[in-house]
């Protein structure tokens, strides 16, 4: 009888873990669908086309930047009080959305206030889900984010195809489901949903988010704003969402397989194709224009997944505040998105008037992007002197290099002792030196090195160094 009870408890525990994972996936996917629906679906339901769509999207982008600013400044107090402020703000946001969608339009000031409340509440909801992503095991983060983004894009596609009344109901329901999943996780799995209360100053001290990386991520948000504006005017929004969905699904499938698609593998082809898309977007019509928009949409989808996963890894390894780090990085992104929304609307208006000015302006943006990409693409690692056993000159060994070694250790399941050996091997130290430094036998040191090679799938020290170099933390050039 005791054995039967033990078995039942174990099964119940496994079921509970599965339900927690399901709630996290559903809630995160609904959060992504809510953000996309806010920019792609809501403007068409509450305003007329043209400038009305532009101003409401600008209000959303700027208000979300303000919401992230509030979270960034008060992250320590918010986490210490168990994110009650974020939950309350999300409730206010979904209530404002219901008011906007189901109550006849009132005075202009009241409309503006409601739209601002929607966007601020949305930023509060998104930052909570980033805290949940940070709590997941490394091997699950990329899969969770890729699958969640794919599910969110699919949800946005469904919202866009529903009739007016059904779309309004689904927009509110999706947000409520996401918020309900977050509240359930905070209630029953507080360790996964409630971020640690790390002071903002201490988090800033530990964080090494470089401006070059922040600028590149912000340009990706600029592309998103541009695509939203132009695709809405040309009727290509569905094709763009399908392209973004395909890219997210491809990343999720690639994660299960050999993980061929990485930022490093894409870096040689991304800048030229991005510049080509900008130049040809208004130079041609119909299929070429749609293809350019679809490419930018797929690119944004891919880098959104990479950005979330890389930032979550950076937060975990560097022991940062998830709320403060994520919100601080998103402020500039949404301001850049506002710029992209305005630029897309203005450029499309120029192209509609039959002039070549839109092509010229897009070419200027493409050239600026090429210079920006070249400036931000710096060597992230010292290439020479890494394997010199006698005189290792790695100024980053105690900082960036060591964090990369820690990331490799977590990704491949190395023990704490194997991590220590990994750091020494990465400095170019041989087994004899490791024996003396760690006060272990020579055979033990050699065994650790062999096990590190086996677990990481490399066959030489140079391959191991290449693996560490390819491990990119969030905020690196």
N residues, the chain = 477
DSSP 348-411: HHHHHTT-SHHHHHHHHHHHHHHHHHHHH----S--SSTT-SS----TTTTTHHHHHHHHHHHH
Question: Same domain, yes or no, for 259 and 352?
Answer: yes
Domain count, the chain: 2
Q: How far apart are CA 65 and CA 221, in angstroms?
A: 12
CA gap 237, 157 in Å, rounded = 9
- Tokens encoding 149: 């983004």
Residue 451 sits in a domain whose CATH number is 1.10.10.10
Structure confidence at residue 456 (pLDDT): 87
Q: What are the φ and ψ backbone dihedral angles of 11, each rounded to 5 degrees?
A: -65, -40
Residue 353 lies in a domain: yes
pLDDT profile of the chain (477 residues), mean per 10: 32 50 90 95 82 89 96 94 94 95 84 94 96 85 90 92 91 96 89 87 78 80 91 88 94 80 77 86 84 92 88 83 92 94 89 78 85 63 33 45 81 85 85 84 86 87 82 62
d(CA 7, CA 11): 6
Angle, helices 322-352/108-134, rounded to nearest 10 degrees: 130
CATH for 98: 1.20.1250.20
Q: Among 5, 411, 13, which Cα is nearest to 189's?
A: 13
DSSP assigned state of 473: P
Residue 357 has phi, psi (to 5 degrees) of -65, -35
What pLDDT does 367 receive? 87
Alpha carbon 104 to chain centroid, angstroms:
36
Question: In terms of domains, do 324 and 406 share one?
Answer: no
Tell me how many degrees the CA angle 218-178-191 measures, rounded to the nearest 5.
90
Can you tell me which residue has the tokens 């002197």? 385
Q: Which domain holds residue 428?
A: 400-470
What pLDDT does residue 80 have? 92
In-domain check, residue 382: no
CA 295 to chain centre: 18
Question: Residue 381: inside a domain, yes or no?
Answer: no
Predicted pLDDT of residue 75: 95
Does 361 lie in the same domain as 457? no
In a domain, 424, yes or no: yes
Does 428 map to a domain?
yes
311, 411: one domain: no
Q: Are residues 49 and 193 in the same domain?
A: yes
Q: Give CA–CA dist 36/337, Å, rounded.
A: 13
Residue 164 sits in the same domain as residue 304: yes
Residue 259 DSSP symbol: -
Same domain, 191 and 238: yes
**pLDDT value for 318:** 77
| CA nearest neighbour of 35 among 100, 118, 108 | 118
Distances (CA, A) of 438 to 137, 423, 463: 29, 12, 24
Question: Rounded distance, CA 393 to CA 387, Å?
Answer: 10
Q: Is residue 390 part of a domain?
A: no
| One domain, residues 130 and 252 | yes
């Amino acid at each position: 009888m005791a054995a039967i009870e033990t078995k039942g408890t174990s099964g119940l525990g496994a079921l509970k873990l599965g339900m927690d994972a399901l709630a996290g996936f559903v809630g995160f996917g609904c959060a992504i669908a809510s953000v996309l629906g806010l920019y792609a679906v809501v403007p068409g339901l509450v305003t007329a086309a043209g400038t009305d769509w532009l101003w409401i999207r600008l209000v959303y982008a700027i208000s979300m930047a303000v919401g992230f600013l509030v979270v960034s400044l008060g992250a320590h107090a918010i986490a210490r009080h168990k994110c009650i402020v974020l939950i309350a703000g999300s409730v206010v946001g979904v209530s404002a959305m219901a008011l906007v969608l189901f109550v006849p339009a009132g005075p202009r000031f009241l409309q503006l206030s409601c739209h601002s409340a929607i966007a601020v509440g949305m930023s509060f909801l998104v930052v909570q889900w980033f805290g949940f992503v940070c709590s997941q095991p490394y091997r699950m983060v990329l899969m969770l984010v890729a699958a969640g983004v794919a599910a969110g894009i699919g949800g946005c596609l469904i919202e866009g195809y529903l009739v007016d009344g059904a779309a309004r109901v689904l927009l509110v329901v999706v947000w409520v489901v996401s918020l309900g999943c977050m509240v359930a996780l905070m209630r029953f799995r507080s360790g996964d949903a409630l971020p640690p209360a790390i002071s903002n100053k201490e988090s800033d001290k530990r964080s090494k988010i470089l401006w070059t990386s922040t600028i590149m991520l912000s340009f990706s948000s600029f592309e998103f704003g541009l695509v939203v504006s132009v695709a809405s005017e040309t009727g290509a929004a569905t094709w763009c969402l399908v392209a973004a969905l395909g890219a997210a699904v491809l990343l999720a499938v690639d994660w299960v397989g050999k993980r061929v698609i990485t930022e490093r593998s894409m870096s040689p082809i991304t800048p030229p194709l991005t510049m080509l898309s900008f130049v040809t977007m208004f130079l041609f019509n119909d299929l070429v224009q749609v293809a350019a928009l679809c490419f930018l949409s797929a690119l944004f989808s891919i880098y959104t997944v990479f950005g979330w996963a890389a930032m979550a890894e950076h937060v975990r390894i560097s022991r940062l505040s998830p709320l403060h780090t994520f919100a601080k990085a998103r402020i500039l992104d949404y301001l850049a998105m506002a710029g992209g929304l305005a630029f897309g609307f203005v450029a499309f208006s120029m192209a509609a008037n039959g002039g070549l000015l839109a092509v010229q302006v897009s070419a200027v943006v493409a050239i600026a992007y090429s210079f920006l990409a070249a400036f931000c693409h710096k060597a992230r690692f010292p290439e020479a002197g890494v394997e010199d056993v006698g005189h290792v000159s790695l100024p980053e060994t105690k900082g960036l290099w060591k964090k990369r070694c820690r990331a490799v250790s977590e990704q491949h399941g190395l023990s704490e002792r194997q991590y220590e050996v990994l750091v020494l091997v990465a400095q170019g130290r041989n087994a004899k030196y490791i024996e003396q430094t760690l006060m272990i036998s020579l055979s033990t040191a050699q065994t650790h090195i062999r096990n590190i090679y086996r677990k990481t799938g490399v066959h030489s020290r140079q391959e191991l160094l290449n693996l560490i170099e390819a491990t990119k933390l969030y905020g690196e050039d």
